[in-house]
Structure 1
Amino acid sequence: AQIVATRGDLFPKQYVDALNQFADNLDPMPVSMSKAIITQELLLKDGETFEDVFSQFDEEPLGAASIAQVHRAVLSEKYGFREVAVKIQRPSIESKLMGDIANLKTIAKLFRHVDASPVDYYTIFSELENQLQDEFDFSKEAKAMDQIYDSLATAAELPIVMPRSVPELVTRRVLVMDFIKGTPLSRMQKKMEESGIKPGSIKSKLFGRKFVESLTEVFGRTILGTGLFHADPHPGNIMITDNGDIGLIDFGQVKQLTPSYRDTIAKIIIALDERKGAGEDDFESNELLGKLILDLGVELHKDAKHEAGAAIAMWLFDGSVENLPGGYDVGELSPDSPVKEIKEFTQDLVLVARSVVMIKAFSNRFQIGWSLAEKWAPIARKMIHDSASTDDRYLLHDYPFAGRVRNLKKRIKKRSANFAKTLLVRMPPRIRSLIASALIQ
């Protein structure tokens, strides 16, 4: 529902508007219940009263979703009068949602090997089941949120506004964190239209470009950098602050990728970036992308076209491409979409793909052309560079071509072929061909 709500370019407006409520506009708990849960979780163990912790507490929630609802509050003098958001878990919600997921997995398993099924939903629901188990523990959410904040704060300027937790006011069912003042993206389009900013207008596109750029940088630096990233970027979890900054909230769903998996994504991004300007029939480039997609854990149907892997990589990570190899269609709902060639995929790919597809959806929503591969390429190259040894980096830069080939041959004898792959993926197709010829000779 949340994904469909972002795809006004694919689905009728009445569907998009109706499903938009699932972002953060469900029926809330009574405030008396919210306060009772807070008191039970935070206060009784220390003998404090509600007023000892909160000098203000807004009874009207900021938003209510399936697992929790959030209230704005101001902490007491003891906590520095800090303006905060208080996230409170709904009673008994864990057993209900886990039961729903178990039922969905049972149904999905029955259709897992049916050819007419477009996607392996069993894998998707299995990954969501794993994520939900952590999402019910707000102490894990607070830890992940603070870790992601710290990883992004290493830059001169944080590309996005994020909350930090109040560690002494965090339990399994209650999370107190910084308050991000603004409007959820789920309600922003209506607000823009009320202000006279129409979809497709110059102002709308300028806002959309800044918005998509911020999200792209954040997800590039977290997916490719630390591997720990926000895995639920739907419109209810994205804020537009009063001064126009982009805010990211609700870190209940996060994903940690292994270094090897990040490395494979980085190689795909670099290969796509270096493919720019090549024709759709560029055999070498298609071969490389096809292999890397398999390394990402994608299994194709036996009768899939030879170019299917490359087409999937381009469809997923490069929204600016108009023509896909193999005659596949870029249209996501097209019967000729390369997605139909996917038989199975790993759980690691589920939330990476979800985040990437969401960013693609936002670029379509604001009617701006966008290529994740182009924007992520500098981050991917830096990641590959930083993971290489000092000697390896010497070969990756201004080193004479002949010497590079000689040293590459020596390295292959001493080490696994992974080093050769690292070098070759970073080079344009023409250079890769020259090196391959030199090695064979």
Structure 2
Amino acid sequence: MLPPLDFKDIQEKLSTNFRPWQRSFQFWVRAVDIYTGYKVFQVRVSFEKDVQKQEAMWERQHELAADKIYSMCSDLGGFFLKCPMGFHYWIYDLEVMEWESGQLEFIWVMIAQIVGKPDLAPAAWVRRLVTLCDRAPATPFGDVQLMLEKELGQSIGEMFERFEMDPLGSASIAQVHRARLRGDKNDVVVKVQHPGIQDLMMTDIRNVQAFALYMQKTDIKFDLYSITKEMEKQIGYEFDFIREANAMERIRRFLYENNKKTPVLVPRVIRDMVSRRVLVMEYMDGIPILNLGDEIAKRGINPGGKIAAAAKQKILQSLTLAYGQMILKSGFFHADPHPGNILICKGSEVALLDYGQVKDLPEDLRLGYANLVLAIADDDPIRASESYREMGIDTVVKCENGQQEMLRLAQTMFDTKLPPGVVMLQPFSEESSIKKITVQAFPEELFSVLRTVHLLRGLSVGLGINYSCAEQWRSIAEEALYRAGRLKGKDLKSRVRRRGLLRRFF
């Protein structure tokens, strides 16, 4: 006799199998609507000759598109709340010491460059999409408890003296809870993965890959597909918390061993409480960097005074030193320094959280990038061109003075410094280097470095400090090349002596 049919189980299986197709359909309908909306508008606005009226029309179009993008990201969630390709932008008010962080999907930004104005990110998008940050829905506590007990093999009561049911925060892949282990005096953070999130997000990434491939073949002369392939690889790693724990321990050990005092604090892993979907680590007591302005105001410190400026300078120097050492000396680095992963602790110490996105650069890329850092710091176009070839960045120059434009492109992509009077770079404007130089191939591994530099630039804008990470990293790059036999001792001494003379002269 056949067993009775379980219609509820059949319904759940059908729903699970159909969900990727449903998400894909929703993505493409909305993406095509936004894209064609800009294309049609581009024709319509060309008939308007009055510049001010054109500006007003563009603003309305961007607001309309921003509402549609917001709706899509909010409804679909998953990858579209994470925005892993996004660059982070800060709208900064020096008087009230506040900034907002907006994660803008890189593909959407690219669309705006081609079909819209040359601003890096339309203000209407920033205003609308900034509210998407940290909006991922929390998993109910019952599901969290089931996941924890299944992964770690014990009940919550056996493992924890106290466990806060309400999460500290919920992101696209996981959420975190504050707790205290039995027999311990210190609190820990318990990171628990959302059930079923991996399949959902990988579907989203493949849709974005297809869209990126279309864009690079029709509108954008940049290797977008390689970037999305690197994203797929990196986000795939984020679902393995054992890998994240190993990365956290490796970076913590490297920074503590290579400095008298580590430039950034790294949480300690509770080793016997790690699985693929659960990670327990030391609780870091601090304030999110986005709340720094409020904290300064609470303490009665003048936001424009020397104390506030010194604190911000110290924060940025600590982060920059840590990243320079990780990228150029080790090649293994934390690849996601967005504001949500940065805490400010006592004494302006910086804690770096979330090691789901890390990158291990191949030796040739690490040394090639060290060479490019020196080219940028020394304003050397010949060295910049050599570094491009060494790293496998394939370019076609479409202008006169190509070497100088290659250097400008390197500065735009791989340095944090903004030109005088510029508050936000416009790399896709008609006068920008990326319009004059076609990037036909861009190594996937290098995108993590590119993204990290852009996030550091966003932080520097938010803190009101304009600086060059290439200049800060010059000595680290020289040491890396010297240790690899690429820079002779006499050349290194000459470079150090020349810098000393320049400092005294200026």
Name the TM-score, length of structure 1 as normaliser. Answer: 0.78
Asked whether the 8 Å contact 1:7–1:361 carries over to 2, the reply is yes
* Offset of residue 386 of structure 1: 1.9
Of residues 286, 289, 292, the one that matches 1:185 is: 289
Residues 103-133 of structure 1, C-alpha deviations (whole Å, 9 max, x = no match): 111121122233x326432122110100111
Residue 219 of structure 2 corresponds to residue 101 of structure 1: no
Task: Tell me, in whole angstroms, the C-alpha distance in 1 between the residues paired with 2:346 and 2:174.
Answer: 25
Residues 101 and 198 (structure 1), Cα distance of their counterparts in 2 relative to 1, 3 Å cut: farther
Residue 223 of structure 2 corresponds to residue 120 of structure 1: yes
Amino acid in structure 1 at the alignment position of 2:208 = L
* Offset of residue 158 of structure 1: 0.6
Task: Tell me, in whole angstroms, the C-alpha distance in 2 between the residues paired with 1:330 and 1:107.
Answer: 25
Of residues 361, 373, 380, the one that matches 1:257 is: 361
The 3-state SS of whatever aligns with 1:88 is: strand
Unpaired stretches in structure 1, ≥5 consecutive residues: 276-284, 324-328, 400-424, 429-441
Task: Tell me, in whole angstroms, the C-alpha distance in 2 between the residues paired with 1:252 and 1:233.
Answer: 11
Residue 429 of structure 2 corresponds to residue 334 of structure 1: yes
* Offset of residue 314 of structure 1: 2.1
The 3-state SS of whatever aligns with 2:270 is: strand
Amino acid in structure 2 at the alignment position of 1:58 = E
Task: Tell me, in whole angstroms, the C-alpha distance in 2 between the residues paired with 1:161 and 1:217.
Answer: 13
Residue 160 of structure 2 corresponds to residue 54 of structure 1: yes
Task: Tell me, in whole angstroms, the C-alpha distance in 1 between the residues paired with 2:293 and 2:215.
Answer: 38
Asked whether the 8 Å contact 1:317–1:371 carries over to 2, the reply is no
* Offset of residue 194 of structure 1: 6.2
RMSD over aligned Cα, in angstroms?
Answer: 2.9
Task: Tell me, in whole angstroms, the C-alpha distance in 1 between the residues paired with 2:414 and 2:215.
Answer: 28
The 3-state SS of whatever aligns with 1:72 is: strand
Asked whether the 8 Å contact 2:373–2:473 carries over to 1, the reply is yes
* Offset of residue 388 of structure 1: 2.3
Residue 84 of structure 2 corresponds to residue 8 of structure 1: no
Asked whether the 8 Å contact 1:26–1:65 carries over to 2, the reply is yes
Amino acid in structure 2 at the alignment position of 1:106 = A
* Offset of residue 376 of structure 1: 0.3
* 1:123-202 correspondence runs (5 A): 123-154=226-257, 155-192=259-296, 202=306
Question: Where does residue 443 of structure 2 map in the other structure?
Answer: 346
Amino acid in structure 1 at the alignment position of 2:230 = E
Task: Tell me, in whole angstroms, the C-alpha distance in 1 between the residues paired with 2:121 and 2:298.
Answer: 22
Task: Tell me, in whole angstroms, the C-alpha distance in 2 between the residues paired with 1:38 and 1:266.
Answer: 43
Task: Tell me, in whole angstroms, the C-alpha distance in 2 between the residues paired with 1:16 and 1:203.
Answer: 30
Task: Tell me, in whole angstroms, the C-alpha distance in 2 between the residues paired with 1:87 and 1:136.
Answer: 11
User: Number of residue pairs matched?
Assistant: 381
* Offset of residue 230 of structure 1: 0.7
Of residues 290, 295, 315, the one that matches 2:385 is: 290
Task: Tell me, in whole angstroms, the C-alpha distance in 2 between the residues paired with 1:297 and 1:61.
Answer: 44
Residues 188 and 35 (structure 1), Cα distance of their counterparts in 2 relative to 1, 3 Å cut: farther
Residue 133 of structure 2 corresponds to residue 29 of structure 1: no
Task: Tell me, in whole angstroms, the C-alpha distance in 2 between the residues paired with 1:364 and 1:73.
Answer: 35
Question: Where does residue 388 of structure 1 map in the other structure?
Answer: 485
Amino acid in structure 2 at the alignment position of 1:216 = T
* Offset of residue 364 of structure 1: 1.5
Amino acid in structure 2 at the alignment position of 1:132 = I
Residues 187-243 of structure 1, C-alpha deviations (whole Å, 9 max, x = no match): 444555666668766555333212211110111000001101011111111111244
Residue 452 of structure 2 corresponds to residue 355 of structure 1: yes
Task: Tell me, in whole angstroms, the C-alpha distance in 1 between the residues paired with 2:299 and 2:125.
Answer: 23
**Identity percentage over the alignment?**
30
* Offset of residue 150 of structure 1: 0.7
Task: Tell me, in whole angstroms, the C-alpha distance in 1 between the residues paired with 2:175 and 2:231.
Answer: 20
Task: Tell me, in whole angstroms, the C-alpha distance in 1 between the residues paired with 2:429 and 2:449.
Answer: 22
Residues 12 and 367 (structure 1), Cα distance of their counterparts in 2 relative to 1, 3 Å cut: farther
Residues 267-321 of structure 1, C-alpha deviations (whole Å, 9 max, x = no match): 122233333xxxxxxxxx3122122123223222342441221111222344446
Asked whether the 8 Å contact 1:20–1:186 carries over to 2, the reply is no
Residue 187 of structure 2 corresponds to residue 83 of structure 1: yes
Question: Where does residue 39 of structure 1 map in the other structure?
Answer: 149
The 3-state SS of whatever aligns with 2:473 is: helix
Task: Tell me, in whole angstroms, the C-alpha distance in 2 between the residues paired with 1:348 and 1:304.
Answer: 28
Question: Where does residue 236 of structure 1 map in the other structure?
Answer: 340
Asked whether the 8 Å contact 1:5–1:20 carries over to 2, the reply is no
Asked whether the 8 Å contact 2:245–2:269 carries over to 1, the reply is yes
Unpaired stretches in structure 2, ≥5 consecutive residues: 1-82, 93-119, 499-506
The 3-state SS of whatever aligns with 2:189 is: strand
Asked whether the 8 Å contact 2:482–2:489 carries over to 1, the reply is no
Question: Where does residue 108 of structure 2 map in the other structure?
Answer: none
Amino acid in structure 1 at the alignment position of 2:431 = D
Asked whether the 8 Å contact 1:216–1:372 carries over to 2, the reply is yes
Task: Tell me, in whole angstroms, the C-alpha distance in 2 between the residues paired with 1:152 and 1:398.
Answer: 26
* Offset of residue 183 of structure 1: 1.9
Residue 325 of structure 2 corresponds to residue 248 of structure 1: no
* Offset of residue 144 of structure 1: 0.7
Amino acid in structure 2 at the alignment position of 1:153 = Y
Question: Where does residue 321 of structure 2 map in the other structure?
Answer: 217
* Offset of residue 4 of structure 1: 5.1
Task: Tell me, in whole angstroms, the C-alpha distance in 2 between the residues paired with 1:169 and 1:21.
Answer: 34
* 1:271-286 correspondence runs (5 A): 271-275=375-379, 285-286=380-381
Task: Tell me, in whole angstroms, the C-alpha distance in 2 between the residues paired with 1:180 and 1:143.
Answer: 18
Asked whether the 8 Å contact 2:365–2:391 carries over to 1, the reply is yes
The 3-state SS of whatever aligns with 1:347 is: coil
